[in-house]
Amino acid sequence: ELKVEQNPLFLSMQEGKNYTIYCNYSTTSDRLYWYRQDPGKSLESLFVLLSNGAVKQEGRLMASLDTKARLSTLHITAAVHDLSATYFCAVGGRGGSEKLVFGKGMKLTVNP
């Protein structure tokens, strides 16, 4: 059974600081997604990671994937208040299974 764990689940950080959050999954997968959710809103796609060593960057966020370790990281550089949100990773089963499993999400608060 595929399980996805995120840590930390809550993070409060100062503007300008850097931090890395982690997403571990339990079984082999061929794709991993990162989503952002603002309070009371829907989910917004951030990154799709498909292969070992994949690295993608968008603004102050950079995501990477290590399929051998079953680990993805989301690195925040020089945080700003607008990054405050909940971040989810989601992992798809092997062979393109539609059964996407989400982590519990990490609530990020960036303080001025």
Among 12, 41, 78, 81, binds another protein (CB under 8 A): 41
Residue 76 sits in the site that holds another protein (CB under 8 A)? no
Q: Name residues whose C-beta falls within 8 Å of residue 75's C-beta, 6 or more positions apart in sequence.
A: 18, 19, 20, 61, 62, 63, 64
Q: What is the DSSP string of the chain?
A: ---EEEE-SEEEEETT--EEEEEEESS--SEEEEEEE-TTS-EEEEEEE-STT-EEEETTEEEEEETTTTEEEEEE-S--GGG-EEEEEEEEPGGG-S-EEE---EEEEEE-
Least spacing, CB of residue 85 vs another protein, in Å: 14
Output 81 or 104, the one with its CB closest to another protein: 104
Residue 25 sits in the site that holds another protein (CB under 8 A)? no
Residue 98 sits in the site that holds another protein (CB under 8 A)? yes
Residues in contact with another protein, counted by CB under 8 A, come to a total of 24
Output 30 or 80, the one with its CB closest to another protein: 30
Residue 42 sits in the site that holds another protein (CB under 8 A)? yes
What are the residues binding another protein (CB under 8 A)? 4, 9, 30-31, 33, 41-43, 45, 48, 50, 88, 90, 92, 95-96, 98-105
